[in-house]
Structure 1
Amino acid sequence: MSFDGRLLSGMSVLAAVVEAGNFSRAGEALGLSASGVSRAISRLEARLGVRLLDRTTRTIHLTSDGADLYQRAAPHLEGIEEAANYVSGAAVSVRGALKVSLNPIFSRFVLAPKLPLLKERYPGLDLTIVQQGDVGDLVAEGIDVAVRFGDQPSSTMSSRLLLRTRVITVASPAYLARKGVPRQPEDLGAHDCIQYIDPLRGKPFSWEFQRAKEVLPVETNGYLTTNDVDTMVQACLSGLGIAQTLAISVQHLLDSGALVELLPQWPDETYPLYIIRPSRRLAPAAVEAFLNFCSEICRDI
């Protein structure tokens, strides 16, 4: 099969559809209408003689042939983009607008103290930070990079592990003076335990304790259930009950004595933090710089 520009154009459209998830968003990225994207895919399928996408009224999925083609072609498309960026200077110049969606804990306790360093290093970067939880459609919201807690589902997005923070059990001295100190995880059944809602499932996280390979689930109950970390921590500080939270968000309160860590003999439960971008293709220089900066500031945590 001889090569021509129409084949490259069709492959670029296919990659955009895979990364965007539907024809409309791919069209927005390419400057085409949804129908124009659909026609381009149909022409590519006709040229190759195979069906590349399974289409329904709501979803689009790669066929097995489409998945094979995309996996083989994507590195070459990245190479073309890398070459173009290098020639244009984009690969060596960190500048322009960058919109990032950040978990509030990461934003407040990890990134915010380092923002002066980021500005000093990349003065041409125009940064917009949107504080969000660990859910949401990055492509639809125009997000370049997201930082989220929790294991990430398999997708066309690119993710990188930043750190694992301990999950710890805490209470205020006032609560412990009033209710007593639990000595074993099973003792929590007799205590007021603040429940935190998993944003992915819409249900409270289960409480468990880990020590090496030993995992101990514990049934807990309490007066308050919330999906807001600040409310949970403030309620815990006020003496309402015991909370399980991430060490990264309360270390300063532990250091000051405002909160006390409970059951430290079960120290091994951790929770991952990932940095994500919507596409697996070559990242623009501003995106790559932000990814590397976040990795750098997380190394010593």
Structure 2
Amino acid sequence: MPTDGRLLGNLSVLVSVVETGNFARAADALGLSPSGVSRAVSRLEAKLGVRVLHRTTRSVTLTEEGERLYAQVGPLLAGIEDAALSAAGDAHAVRGRLRVSVDPMFSSQVLAPRIATFLARHPQLELEIVSRDELGDLISDGIDVAVRFGEPQSSSLIGRKLLDTRVLTVASPAYLAAHGRPAKPAELVRHACLQFRDPVTRRPFAWEFHRQGKVVTVDTQGPLTLTDSATMYALCTAGAGVAQVLALIVRDALDDGRLVELFPGWAEETFPLYAYYPSRRNAPPRVRAFVDFCVELATAAA
């Protein structure tokens, strides 16, 4: 069956409008006029017999039919682009637009200080970083790759474990000077412990301490419950209380003395860091390059 080139072209225009946010930016990216972009979308809607975009003077958003179409077509067009690059002998070129969704703490404490190195390696790459706690729907959100702590929750994605990082119990020198240093985990019942709410159960995480296969749970209390790991980190370093954090995130703070690890002998619990990307036979070179870079960062910070 012959391919309808005009249909593919119009679909590409739609994807560009969604990814850039409006007709003007899509026109710049495609080398067209805004009116040309609008006509292409109108031709697509006429061909399909449904409206795919809601248009207002301030924004352009997908209709319900448009969301379904974009979720199916986006990965296919990306695959066509990758196949074309491969056929042209450019299968290893890292270029184009890469949209990544990253855990906020990994983004601020590990990725951001070193991202210039990644961009210097790949000058033809345009990178957009979305920092958020929830993984979300990568396809409908237009995300190429995501990095998150915790075990995989979705079987529809390709997940690559980057590392397991230890769970540490820490406090600031100022807090310890004011309240004393607990000698063992059980003594935390007399301390202000920063509680972090599990986004899945909506309840605070239990405080566990692991040593040589033995697990001790302590019923900690505290006046502060957080849903944002960056805020908990800031409060802990400011002396507001004791916190359980991931070693990968606080390595620099421990090295320079901003935080103190309380129970090194009870820190054998680990938490995984994963990279996720939509299921495809061959991940684009830009996705592979970013995941490899995250592996490099995680290994260095472990």
Task: Calculate the TM-score normalised by the size of structure 2.
Answer: 0.71
CA contact (8 A) 1:81 1:282 kept: no
Q: Flag the 1:118–1:80 CA change in 2: closer, same or farther, 3 A.
A: closer
**Match of 1:28?**
70
Stretches of structure 1 that go unaligned for 5 or more consecutive residues are 6-21, 33-78
- RMSD (CA atoms): 2.7
Note if contact 2:193-2:242 (Cα within 8 Å) is conserved in structure 1.
yes
Q: Distance in 2 between matches of 1:29 and 1:192?
A: 46
Q: Equivalent residue for 1:284? A: 284
Sequence identity (%): 48
Distance, in Å, in 1 between the alignment partners of 2:255 and 2:72 is 51
Tell me: CA distance 1:90–1:31, structure 2 relative to 1, closer, same or farther (3 Å).
same
How many residue pairs get aligned? The number is 237
Shift of 1:297: 2.5
For residues 45-64 of structure 1, what are the structure 2 equivalents within 5 Å? Answer: none
Q: Which residue of 1 aligns with 2:217?
A: 217
Aligned residue number for residue 107 of structure 1: 107
Q: Is 2:171–2:261's contact at 8 Å kept on the other side of the alignment?
A: yes
Aligned-partner residue type, residue 286 of structure 2 = A
TM-score, with length taken from structure 1 = 0.71
One-letter amino acid of the counterpart of residue 167, structure 1: V
What amino acid maps onto 1:123 in structure 2? P
Aligned to 2:94: 94
Counterpart of 2:36 in structure 1 is: none
What is the CA–CA distance in structure 2 between the aligned matches of 1:235 and 1:274, rounded to whole Å? 26
Quote the residue 2:56 is aligned against: none
Using the alignment, how far apart are the partners of 2:84 and 2:275 within structure 1? Answer: 26
Cα offset, 1:24, TM superposition: 6.4
User: Any conservation in 2 of the 1:134–1:200 contact (CA below 8 Å)?
Assistant: no
Q: Deviations over 1:87-107 (max 9, x none)?
A: 144522211101000111221
Cα distance between partner residues in 2 of 1:280 and 1:214: 41
> Which residue of the partner structure matches residue 268 of structure 2?
268
Aligned residue in 2 for 1:171: 171
Distance in 1, Cα, partners of 2:252 & 2:282: 38
Structure 2 residues not aligned, in runs of 5+: 3-63
- Judged with a 3 Å threshold, the aligned counterparts in structure 2 of structure 1 residues 212 and 129 are, in CA distance, closer, same or farther, namely same
Which 4+ residue blocks in structure 1 deviate beyond 6 angstroms?
79-83
* Deviation of the 1:119 alpha carbon: 1.6
Aligned residue identity for 1:129? I
- Whole-angstrom CA distance in 2 between matches of 1:278 and 1:31: 13
Matched to 2:144, the amino acid is D
Q: Does 1:198 align with 2:240?
A: no
Q: CA deviation at 1:29?
A: 4.7
